[in-house]
């Protein structure tokens, strides 16, 4: 091979790819610089934008907490980055987050990443805006008022009790807590939010129930993906799992529509799906099956994924802090729920509302391990935040977990200390330092349902079980909700004591 051929080969092999890479990097830099609002004199927040197209998405997905902690240490409470194909500002701290959460419709609007919008669909509550969002939320909120919650209490207690009996029967071999809790919360969400009995003939039997649970796990894993819909990509797998879920849910929706068309109304206790169907009928609208499937999928996702995360964290923290579990049992005993002769006592809303310390335990769990790490918005106009410009069209992520971490009113932040949430305690003072359910017009629609569910779970767990964490304190991971890397192996035994 002659010298010209060698030079041509070297040019094609090394020089051209290098030049293309340098050109792409330069164009990326120019894109990032030009995306600032030049009519605003304020600077962009500090930070980096990562690699061309990919931005810093891969680093965040792979490193998550380590990546976010490094960013916070280096850039503070506001910084720019590029995530999920969009220039993004990440925000934390009570004052900054207050501005975002209360700026809905004026400064920002909800806009989840393209992968979330594609998988969950435009018809779900999280992706609706303005009057459509307000109207849908008003309908769904009827499923979470106090009267409805009272109807749910015995259903939740029944499901939790049945689940704990199975855990106790595992004996010395123990079990993996997180997947078991996810199945429990899925069953509760199916019964309460969609009015479907899991494992019954109407829902396809236990085999289909397990298939649905696995499909939700696959969808959840790929919810936050790069917007690339090609075979084997995260978005492709997420959509495929979503389609299976929609197919199963549609069968349940059609069965419910047939029942509602022929049966007399049974009391005032209606599940969220029934309320959505009846709302369309009352307005004389044709039922939108796609919107119902998307709403049902969102309800199931929100109703079991986040509560499973929180319940698993509760088991971990109570297992690691026996003195806190002892105080929970003392409070339960004060309500006549702990004595062996009274184990069949029925829970109700009035009793649950008296369990103040148990509520503090749940709050402290949500402070340390908020199931949802943050929320997504888009800037409707360029605005100022703490001396920086937030350009119109940029995504804004407000961080729940970081806001909890940096809150000044919490002392000894790493410690699990439910006493900090006792109402008279000075640490329970600021509205936006504790935001596990978000805030403003977009606060979690099911937060009261979640609180009741977690209280019942804690009561039933404390009065029936002792347990041991087989691997000690768990390492937590976020994808997209918080969960233990080892799935929290534990051994459960009957609680036989009386305090």
Token readout for 178 is 């997180």
> How far is the C-alpha of 254 from the C-alpha of 142, rounded, in Å?
22
Name, in order, each residue with C-beta under 8 angstroms of 142's C-beta and a sequence gap of 6 or more: 148, 270, 275
Residue with tokens 């009928």: 281
> How far is the C-alpha of 137 from the C-alpha of 127, rounded, in Å?
12
> How far is the C-alpha of 62 from the C-alpha of 206, rounded, in Å?
34
State the greatest distance between any 2 C-alpha atoms of the chain, in Å, as a whole number.
96
Token readout for 123 is 């018809």
Return the DSSP state at 101.
Answer: H
Find out whether 444 is annotated in a ligand binding site. yes
> DSSP of 224-280, one letter per residue?
S--S--STTSHHHHHHHHHHHHHHHHHHHHHHHHHHHHHSPP-SS---HHHHHHHHH
Name, in order, each residue with C-beta under 8 angstroms of 166's C-beta and a sequence gap of 6 or more: none
Cα dihedral 36, 41, 45, 51 sign = positive
Residue with tokens 């916070």: 72
> How far is the C-alpha of 444 from the C-alpha of 442, rounded, in Å?
6
> DSSP of 310-338, one letter per residue?
HHHHHHHHHHH-HHHHHHHHHHHHHTT-S
Name, in order, each residue with C-beta under 8 angstroms of 285's C-beta and a sequence gap of 6 or more: none
Instruction: Estimate the crossing angle of helix 205-221 against helix 289-320, to 10 degrees.
Output: 80
Token readout for 194 is 């969609």
Residue 49 main-chain phi, psi, to 5 deg: -110, 0
Report how far apart the first and last C-alpha atoms of the chain are (Å, whole number). 90
CA geometry: angle 488, 187, 340, nearest 5 deg: 70
Annotated binding site for heme: 444
Annotated binding site: 444
């Amino acid at each position: 091979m002659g010298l010209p051929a060698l030079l041509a080969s070297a040019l094609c092999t090394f020089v051209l790819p290098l030049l293309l890479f340098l050109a792409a990097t330069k164009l990326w830099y120019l894109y990032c610089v030009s995306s600032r609002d030049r009519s605003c004199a304020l600077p962009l927040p500090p930070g980096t934008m990562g690699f061309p197209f990919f931005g810093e998405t891969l680093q965040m997905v792979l490193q998550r907490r380590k990546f976010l902690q490094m960013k916070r240490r280096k850039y503070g409470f506001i910084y720019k980055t590029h995530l999920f194909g969009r220039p993004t500002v990440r925000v934390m701290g009570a004052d900054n987050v207050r501005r975002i959460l209360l700026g809905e419709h004026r400064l920002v609007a909800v806009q989840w990443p393209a992968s979330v919008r594609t998988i969950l669909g435009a018809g779900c509550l999280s992706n609706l805006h303005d009057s459509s969002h307000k109207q849908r939320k008003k309908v769904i909120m009827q499923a979470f008022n106090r009267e409805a919650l009272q109807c749910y209490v015995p259903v939740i207690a029944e499901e939790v009790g049945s689940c704990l009996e199975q855990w106790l029967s595992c004996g010395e071999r123990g079990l993996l807590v997180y997947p078991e809790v996810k199945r429990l919360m899925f069953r509760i969400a199916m019964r309460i939010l969609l009015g479907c009995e899991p494992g019954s003939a109407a829902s396809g039997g236990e085999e289909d129930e397990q298939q649905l649970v696995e499909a939700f796990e696959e969808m959840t894993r790929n919810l936050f993906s790069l917007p690339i819909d090609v075979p084997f990509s995260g978005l492709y797998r997420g959509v495929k799992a979503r389609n299976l879920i929609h197919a199963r849910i549609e069968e349940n929706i059609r069965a419910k529509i047939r029942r509602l068309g022929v049966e007399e109304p049974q009391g005032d206790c209606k599940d969220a799906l029934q309320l959505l169907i009846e709302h369309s009928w009352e307005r004389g609208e044709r039922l939108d099956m796609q919107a119902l499937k998307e709403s049902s999928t969102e309800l199931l996702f929100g109703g079991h994924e986040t509560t499973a995360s929180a319940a698993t964290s509760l088991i971990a923290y109570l297992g690691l802090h026996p003195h806190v579990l002892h105080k929970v049992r003392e409070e339960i005993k004060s309500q006549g729920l702990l004595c062996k002769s009274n184990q069949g006592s029925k829970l109700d809303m009035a009793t649950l509302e008296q369990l103040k310390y148990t509520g503090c335990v749940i709050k402290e769990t949500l402070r340390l391990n908020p199931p949802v790490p943050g929320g997504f918005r888009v800037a409707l106009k360029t605005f100022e935040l703490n001396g920086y410009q937030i350009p119109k069209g940029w995504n804004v992520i407000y961080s729940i977990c970081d806001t909890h971490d940096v809150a000044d009113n919490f002392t000894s932040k790493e410690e699990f200390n439910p006493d900090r949430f006792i109402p008279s305690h000075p640490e329970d003072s600021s509205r936006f330092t504790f935001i596990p359910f978000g805030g403003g017009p977009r606060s979690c629609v099911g937060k009261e349902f979640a609180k009741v569910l977690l209280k019942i779970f804690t009561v039933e767990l404390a009065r029936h079980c002792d347990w041991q964490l087989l691997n000690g304190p768990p390492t937590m991971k976020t994808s997209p909700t918080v969960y233990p890397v080892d799935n929290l192996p534990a051994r459960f035994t009957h609680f036989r004591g009386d305090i």
